[in-house]
Structure 1
Amino acid sequence: MARTRETTGRPWSFQLRETELLALAVVAVLLPGDACSQSYELGRSGDLVISERLRILAHGQALAEGSSPMARTLSLKADMIAQGFYHRGGFEWVMAEASLSPTLGWSPNLNGGMARSRIALGGGWLEIDPVYVARSGATAGLLFESEARLAWGAGRYLQVEADGAISHALHGGYERRDRRLLLCSRNHLRSWSFLDLCVNQSESVRSLSHYEQRETMFQFARLFTAPNSYHEIRLDLTERRQPEYRQPRTGLELHSVWPGLATRLGTGFGRAVEGRTAERLDVFADLRWRMAGAVTGLSLWQSRASGGQVFGIAQRDVSTGVALFRQITPALDISVQYVRTQSSVDLFDNRQIALDLSWRFRIR
């Protein structure tokens, strides 16, 4: 994969060998600090982004301009290998890893029950059987995450992710099980353009609820540079399938790197589903930065769902959430989130607070 540097018009290729990496690292030490300060800061912010491709752009640009320390240069090479850019022909495993994370948390709905114990209906009140009301409490569990990649071309690889989680309520005997399987074909087209095809199957089981969903997605991504920033724009076409219905969706995301900051902005639109309450619109914004040397994040989102009826009332839900994330150590994360759902049906109108603490141990 190659790109043209706007400042010189000369081609710069990702196919760097170890001697070239070392030479550029030495040049980075010798160059004046002012000449490299901008690309250095953007390269450092690249550590914050979720997108590997955008991280490669940020780190690669810093390396090409001689402002990348050796540790970040080695990280760049590792990302390139994992993306298949060191492919030497045939099929080659470029990644196989797994981790196990003990978790502690606070769940607002341990059993998948109703948010309210009674609802307003027809000028009166309808009492809900306590068995079907949501229970909150502390949880402990395990999270398993794994990923493997098989490269078959330059910047082209097959990806498999298999995740599973189980959490137990410390009181009450409630249990939650989550499973996810992701299969993707990720493909570099030319320059900084990519095309992906993914199938994502997820399932969540609690005492009173069983959620299952499959998403099939085509996604086009394009990376580009702008003054004092790097960006990745994504456009996707998705079919969301649940046991009761199918829903076509479109989405647009913008991932960005700024000095000292990484951001993600996105929105999605879903077609109406006759007779079903389905998500029609969602928007989100994520920010990540370093605070006292540790990665810190803030997420904001809102989703709007409509289309169904409950007790003869047209259901319209608006859910708004905010979450804070903090990386205590490279293996220890903590997050807290608050979600407010306003619904035309009193049964679904609620507020929820959740807390999660996890330790990550690499087992491969």
Structure 2
Amino acid sequence: MILDDDPDGDWTSGGPYRCAPDVYRIPLPLPQDGLRAVNVYAIPDGDGWTLIDSGWALAESRELLTAALGRLGAGLGDVRRFLVTHIHRDHYTQAIALRQEFGAHVALGRGEESGLAEIHRSGRDPFEAHRSRLLRAGADALAATIEATRPEPGDLSVWEPPDEWIEDGAEIAVGDTQVLTAVETPGHTRGHLVFADDAAGLLFAGDHVLPRITPSIGFEPNPTPSPLADFLTSLQLIRSRKDASLLPAHGPIGMRVHERVDALLEHHGDRLDATLAAVREGRSTAQSVAEALPWTRHRRRLPEMDTFNAMLAVLETQAHLDVLAERGAVTITLQSGVAHYTS
């Protein structure tokens, strides 16, 4: 028996769960304490299945996906297509691994093409983009710590290009009656897509709209000059569309899209205010401003965070400072490669 999804239950517990007619949520594990799982959505499609996102190419993830599909009367070879919201490894890499074995069709947003090209650039240092941003933020000590502890580059075979690049606004038929509209929502990554089923009132939101957290901004191989500005614009775009039930990549279902978008816009408005207040107190770099701000729902301070999440915090602070500069609230002066912000 397939259980109906329970928004009040443990959203990370193994599925599948029926979250809408002919839509099943399959949580797959992640090797991190923070996010814990990624939601993959399975939709029957003719004599097979279309999956929205795929999970991380890990043995445990594959095993749980196999078990969940088995409860739906299917196997890995019955997955005909993956529609991937963005290139982060917990969404993309298992799709490529399964394509190599079973031949599934993998589709990804056109805006991610340059990111994949950067991943495969000859002689590329995977930490290069993050290092330069951390040094600009005045976080040289944090950059050195990450440099000393970062793992070796992984297997690039799971970063092969997709079979299809999805254009913004593309209409994708799934099964006999369902049509998904691809909507480009840059910010989390430059080519992030959400998939809207307007007839059924559903939004497969990837990491763009999450029910409990705000996504990291611009954490990718080649971020845009102002990823937070892109993200806020994308939120406004989704707010202008018809409201829908939120089907997120991380966290439980049960929220309405407009409700959560409003909360995210309010959060970033508050964050911009707090960031500006820290500058007015005399803090001038993204590192020093990040040290003045609370982080996560538990309101942790920067020294309490592990190095990876501290890096995300500093880079997010820099993104907020750059938006303040774009709005004329602060000015930027470069001193020995470090951006200093003054009001």
TM over 0.5: no
Find the structure with the greater CA-based Rg.
1
Task: State TM-score, norm by structure 2.
Answer: 0.23
Q: Which has the higher strand share?
A: 1
Q: Which has the higher helix share?
A: 2
Task: State TM-score, norm by structure 1.
Answer: 0.22
